[in-house]
């Protein structure tokens, strides 16, 4: 292997990155990540200079994260920008995609450079067993660098962008996914790296036993989950960004969809992101009166809407608790760069290229602020909100919720299958780690329910209309 590596170094790096990243494109290929990890160990042993370690990390990282973030291209065409489709839009996407891939790749480069210096300073066997710890730290380093690159008026330094963390690839493993309860995806990333070390260091017989264990325990029965009598209704919509409806049509269709959900007799009704039920009635108080006119039961309704105040514009959730006629609000804190705010690095660029002002007008709605309203003293029986894009934020949930709702909208995208695959991995692990069921209510995506044992609950369709349907299940 070392002879091959010395002769075909770049190709070897490319294959390593491919094995590390392909499982994020096609979930069924997740086992190859451990082969990729074994090659990572081999490459780390071969990097005799820090310059070669840096090169290895960059090439492997660019290939891996180039695959992981491939869903960026499902943004095309950028209907919500109101610009003409064509090469210009592809360039617009590339200007976000390439730096994002590079930031995450620098985390990989950090890993190889640190491994090189560990080999220099510490005996070889000892440095080898430290590799899994460095691997986990490097994944967080890439996440931190992404937050530096996307700094703007709607952001802060964080570790929230965890796309590409290798531990996610074990989210569907019957036995190992349960380990996420202790440490989440980081624990699973550590396991991936440790398996790579074992495959590299030990003889063929041991390698065979490791693979046998991995495959034999994939279908280990998940811990049973006792379904309660609590009924949850989800409104799922297909309101695309290029939908040619006026305000009155949106209002009429949305209220019709909500009325159908209210007829289900559900205990909780979850509406997708920016469903705007609250906005249609003007104030939360008027919305509460409307909901009370439809139902007599003591239900809970969760809505989200763009909310403008004197302090700024927020994406705000409204939780209506009819048992006490109370309204609880919470603001989104982890915002989407380019979608909910413009990072500083792009503001000057936009001014330079936007000679007509058309792009600036299209982006004028991207002005959200980091939320100030938190969970506060809301009762424990109310669901906790996991906002859209926060699926990857490991600190997004408090850990003491009785239920989590995940209102999302993927109207910017066009069937982002890769994104859905990766978010499925994330939500399964979030449910396991926090020991709570997560209900996703989606616009332009599939609504799903993730249980604390990592399994999914089937939703039953009970109502359907113009670009909407109502789904119910017991949690």
| pLDDT on residue 204 | 80
Burial class (CB in 10 A: 0-12, 13-18, 19+), 242: exposed
Over range 102-122, report the average pLDDT.
Answer: 95
Return the axis-axis angle of helices 124-149 and 32-46, rounded to nearest 10°. Answer: 110
32-46 helix and 50-68 helix, angle to the nearest 10 degrees: 160
Q: How far apart are CA 134 and CA 119, in angstroms?
A: 13
pLDDT digits (tens, 9 = 90+) for 249-283: 999 999 999 999 999 999 999 999 989 999 999 99
- Please, which pLDDT band fits residue 92 given cuts at 50, 70 and 90? confident
pLDDT given at position 182: 87
Write down the pTM of the prediction.
Answer: 0.94
What is the Cα–Cα distance from 135 to 359, expressed in whole angstroms? 40
Q: Report the pLDDT value the prediction gives residue 207, as an integer from 0 to 100.
A: 80
Band of pLDDT at residue 216, cut at 50, 70 and 90 = confident
With a cut of 70, say whether residue 1 has pLDDT above it.
Answer: no
Q: Tell me the C-alpha distance between 249 and 162, whole Å.
A: 38
At 44, which helix (H) or strand (E)? Answer: helix 32-46
* Predicted local confidence at residue 384, as pLDDT: 95
Per-residue model confidence as pLDDT tens digits over 281-294: 999 999 999 999 99
- Break the chain into its structural domains and give their ranges: 2-216, 231-335+370-474
The answer to whether the beta carbons of residues 103 and 111 sit under 8 Å apart is no
* pLDDT one-digit tens code per residue, 460-472: 999 999 999 999 9
User: How confident is residue 120, by pLDDT bands cut at 50, 70 and 90?
Assistant: confident
Give the 3-state secondary structure percentages of the chain, helix then strand then coil, rounded to 5: 50, 15, 35
DSSP 168: G
Backbone phi, psi, residue 173, to 5°:
-80, 125
Higher pLDDT, 364 or 240: 240
* CA separation for the pair 159, 110 (Å, rounded): 16
- Spatial separation of the C-alpha atoms in residues 364 and 311, rounded to whole Å: 17
pLDDT at position 211 over 60: yes
The domain 231-335+370-474 having CATH identifier 3.60.110.10: the answer here is yes
Task: Answer for the pair 269, 261: CB distance below 8 angstroms, yes or no.
Answer: yes
Has residue 391 got a pLDDT over 60? yes
Asked if residue 219 has pLDDT above 80, the reply is no
Tell me, what's the pLDDT at 357? 65
Q: Does the pLDDT of residue 426 top 70, yes or no? A: yes
């Amino acid at each position: 292997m070392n002879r091959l590596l010395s002769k075909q170094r770049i190709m070897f790096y490319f294959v390593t990155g491919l094995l590390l990243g392909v499982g994020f494109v096609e979930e069924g290929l997740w086992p190859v990540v451990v082969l990729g990890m074994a090659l990572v160990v081999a490459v780390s042993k071969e990097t005799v200079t820090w310059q070669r370690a840096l090169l290895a990390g960059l090439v492997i990282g660019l290939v891996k994260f180039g695959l992981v973030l491939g869903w960026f291209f499902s943004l095309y065409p950028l209907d919500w920008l109101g610009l003409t489709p064509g090469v210009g839009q592809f360039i617009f996407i590339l200007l976000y995609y390439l730096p994002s891939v590079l930031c995450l790749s620098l985390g990989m480069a950090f890993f190889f450079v640190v491994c090189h210096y560990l080999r220099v300073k510490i005996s070889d066997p000892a440095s080898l067993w430290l590799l899994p710890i460095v691997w986990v730290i490097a994944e967080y380093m890439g996440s931190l660098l992404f937050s530096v690159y996307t700094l703007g008026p709607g952001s802060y330094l964080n570790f929230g962008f965890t796309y590409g963390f290798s531990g996610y690839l074990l989210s569907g493993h019957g036995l190992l996914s349960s380990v996420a309860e202790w440490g989440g995806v980081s624990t699973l990333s550590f396991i991936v790296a440790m398996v790579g070390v074992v495959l590299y260091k030990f003889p063929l017989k041991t390698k065979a036993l490791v693979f046998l264990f991995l495959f034999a325990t994939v279908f280990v029965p998940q811990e049973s989950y006792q379904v309660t009598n609590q009924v949850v209704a989800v409104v799922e919509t297909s309101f695309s960004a290029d939908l040619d409806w006026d305000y009155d049509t949106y209002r009429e269709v949305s209220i019709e969809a909500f009325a159908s959900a209210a007829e289900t007799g559900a205990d909780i009704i979850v509406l997708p992101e920016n469903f705007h039920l609250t906005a249609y009635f003007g104030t939360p108080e008027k919305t509460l009166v409307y909901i009370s006119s439809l139902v007599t039961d003591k239900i809970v309704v969760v809505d989200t809407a763009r909310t403008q105040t004197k302090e700024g514009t927020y994406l705000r959730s409204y939780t209506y608790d009819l048992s006490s006629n109370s309204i609880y609000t919470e603001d989104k804190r982890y915002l989407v760069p380019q979608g909910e705010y413009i990072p500083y690095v792009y503001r000057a660029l936009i001014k330079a290229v936007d000679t007509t002002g058309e792009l600036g007008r299209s982006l004028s709605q991207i002005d959200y602020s980091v939320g100030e309203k938190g969970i506060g003293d809301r009762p424990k029986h109310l669901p906790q909100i996991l906002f859209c894009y926060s699926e990857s934020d490991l600190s997004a949930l408090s850990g003491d919720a009785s239920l989590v709702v995940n209102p999302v909208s993927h109207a910017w995208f066009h069937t982002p299958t890769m994104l859905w695959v990766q978010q499925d991995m994330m939500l399964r692990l979030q449910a396991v780690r926090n020991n709570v069921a997560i209900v996703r209510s989606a616009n332009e995506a599939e609504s799903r329910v993730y249980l604390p044992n990592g399994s999914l609950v089937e939703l039953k369709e009970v109502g359907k209309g113009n670009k909407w349907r109502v789904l119910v299940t017991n949690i």
